[in-house]
Amino acid sequence: MRFWLCLFLLQSVFASVNLAWAESYRREVNFEWEEIADAKGYDIEIRGLTKDGPGKPQVYKTKEALWIGKLTPGKYTMSLRSRDIRGVPGEWSPPSEFDVSLDPVKITLPAQNAEIKGDDEKEISQKFEWSPVGGADEYHFELSSDDGKTQIIETVNKTTYTSKIPVARNYQVKITASGLNGMQSESTTVAQFAVIGKKLALPKITPPDTEFVRELRWKKSEYSENYDLTLNRLNPTTKKWEKVLAQENITGDSFEFDPSHPGGTYSLHVQAKGKLRLNSDPAKINFKVVNGNRSPAAEYTALVRKSIDRVSGWYGIASYLITQITYRGETPETGGLTTTVALGGTGRLGGGFFTKDNKWGFLGIVDMSGFTISDKTRTYSSIELSGISRYVSGDRGETRLIAGLYYKELPQMIGTPSAAPGSNSNVSFVQSAVGGPHLGVEYWHSISPKLGFQTNAHGYYSLLTVKSPNGNNVEPRLSYQIGLMGSYRVTNQFTGLMGITHRIDQLAYRANKTGLSTQGTGDFDETRITGNYLSFYAEYGF
C-alpha cells in the first residue's frame, strides 16, 4: 500500500522551483512533495543521463518532504521512496526524467522599456550587454523591429553585442544561453525598447502673398507625420497676443484661414511631429490680414493696385532726364539777346518716408542739371523738401498732393545780340539762384499687378532771391514741369518708370540803368530754359 501511495505522490512532484546561482557550473534544485502518512523519512535517487544511458546513482536522505541540492546542468532521472517508523524503506518509484537548465539571461543594457534618444536622423550604433550565465559558452541573440524591416540573428560567445539599427522604431531583443551538456536557458529572456530619432527640422512656413489670407501653407519636414499649430492675433488695444485657435495632429501641409477672423496682425506657430522622433522647435511667422472684404474680387483689385503701391517706411528714388534744351536769355543792361540749343540732362537722387498707413510722408530730392555749349558743360543744381499726402481714387487710381520748398540755380548767358538763333559767340556765363514754394500733383493708375502709368504736374514759384548777378531781387516767375510716364513694378520693393516730361525753368530780376539805356517798367534780365525730356525714374523701398 505504501508503495502505490508513494508512486501517486511522486507523480505530483513540483520541480524546478526557486532556481538561483550557486556556483558557476552548478544550479540549486528544489524538489517538494506531499508527505506520506507514518513516513519518518525519504530516500531520493538521482542519476545523470548521458548518450550511453543512466549514470551512477546518487542517493540522498531527507526527513522532510523536501530536498534541496546542487546539480550540474544536464538531463537526469529521479526516483523516490519512503521509510517507515522502523526505518524500513519502501519500493522505489519508477524513475522520472527532468532537466537542469541554464539560468535565464539577465539583460543589463538596454533596460526594459527604455527609450533611447538617438543623435542621428537615420540610425545609431547600439550596444547590448547581459550578465554571464554559469555553464554557458555561447548565446543566441535575436533582435527584431516592430515593422519587421530589421531582423538580426547571431550566435556570440561574449556577453556584449553591438550593431547599427534604424531610429524611430520599437524593438524586441531575445537572448538564450547554451553550453554545458548541450543545455540552454530554461527560458528565453525578452526585453523591449524604443529608439527615438533626432529632433525634427523646422517646417518652413510660406509667407502669404497678400493680406487677403485664405490659406496658410508650410513645407513638410523630413520624417514628420503630423503638425501642431497655434494661431495668435495681436490685440490692437492691449498690444498683447491673444490665442485664436490651436489644432493638433494636422496630417497635411496647410490649413484654411477662417474668413470670419478679423483683420490685423497674426502670428502662426507650426511644430512638426513624427512617430518615435523628437518634436521640432516651433516655426514662427507674423503676417497681416486685411480688414473687411477678403473675397477673390477684392483681392484682385488690391493685387492690381500693387503696380502703384509703395511699401511703408523708407524708400529711395533715382531718375535721369535727357533732351536737347532751348535756351533764351535777355539782358536789357547790355541790350543783348542770346538764344541757343544744347544737349542737356538732369540727374536726381532722393529719399523719403511713408507712415505705416501709407497716407502721409515726405520726400527730399537733390538734382544736378547741365548742358554743353562750346565744348563746355554748364551745371546747375536744385534741392526740394516736400510733404506728400496720398488719396485713393477709385479702385485702381491714387492721387498724391505734394507741397514744400525748393532751391534752384540757373545759369545765364550774356553775349552780343544774336542775328539768328543758335549763335553764341562772345558769350559769358553768370549764375543765379532762387527759392520759394513748390506745389505738385501726381495721379497714378494701375493697369495690372505690374503695369501702370503716372501723370504729374509740378510748379515752382520764385519768391526768394538767393543770388543775382546785379544784386537786384528776383521778380516772381513760375517754373513748371508736366509729364506722362509708364510704370512697371519689378519686385515688391522696386518700381521703374519711363516717359516724357516737358519742363520750363525761368527767372527774372530788374535790370540796372547803364549808359544811355533807359530803365523802363518792364526792363528785366530774364532767363528761360525749355526742354522736352526723355525721363527715366526708379523707386526702391527698404
Q: Which residue has the higher pLDDT, 44 or 394?
A: 44
386, pLDDT greater than 90:
yes
AA identity, residue 445: H
For the chain, domain boundaries: 2-100, 107-196, 204-289, 302-541
107-196 has which fold?
Answer: Immunoglobulin-like (2.60.40)
For the segment 425-434, the average pLDDT, to the nearest whole number, is 78
Q: Per residue in 365-376, pLDDT tens?
A: 999 988 887 677
- Read off the amino acid at residue 222: E
State the Cα–Cα distance between residues 314 and 495, nearest whole angstrom: 14
Give, in words, the CATH class of 2-100.
Answer: mainly beta
The CA-based angle 509-513-515, given to 5 degrees, is 145
* Of 372, 377, 382, the residue nearest 410 (C-alpha): 382
pLDDT tens by residue, 334-380: 666 777 888 888 888 999 998 866 788 999 999 998 888 767 788 88
* pLDDT tens track for 131-155: 999 889 999 999 999 999 999 999 9
* pLDDT higher than 90, residue 187: yes
204-289: what fold?
Immunoglobulin-like (2.60.40)
Domains 2-100 and 302-541 alike in fold:
no
Say what the pLDDT of residue 17 is: 32
Query: Coil, strand or helix: which one is 120?
Result: coil
- Amino acid type, 60: Y
| Residue 23 reports pLDDT greater than 90 | no
For residue 43, report the phi and psi dihedrals to the nearest 5 degrees. Answer: -115, 140
Question: What does the alpha-carbon distance between residue 400 and residue 351 come to, in Å, rounded to a whole number?
Answer: 16
Assigned superfamily of 302-541? OPCA outer membrane adhesin/invasin (2.40.128.100)
Mean pLDDT of the chain: 86
Other C-beta atoms closer than 10 Å to the C-beta of 282 total: 15
Rg of the chain's alpha carbons, rounded to an integer? 51
Sorting pLDDT into bands at 50, 70 and 90, what band is 176? very high
pTM value? 0.55
Q: How much is the pLDDT for 366? A: 95
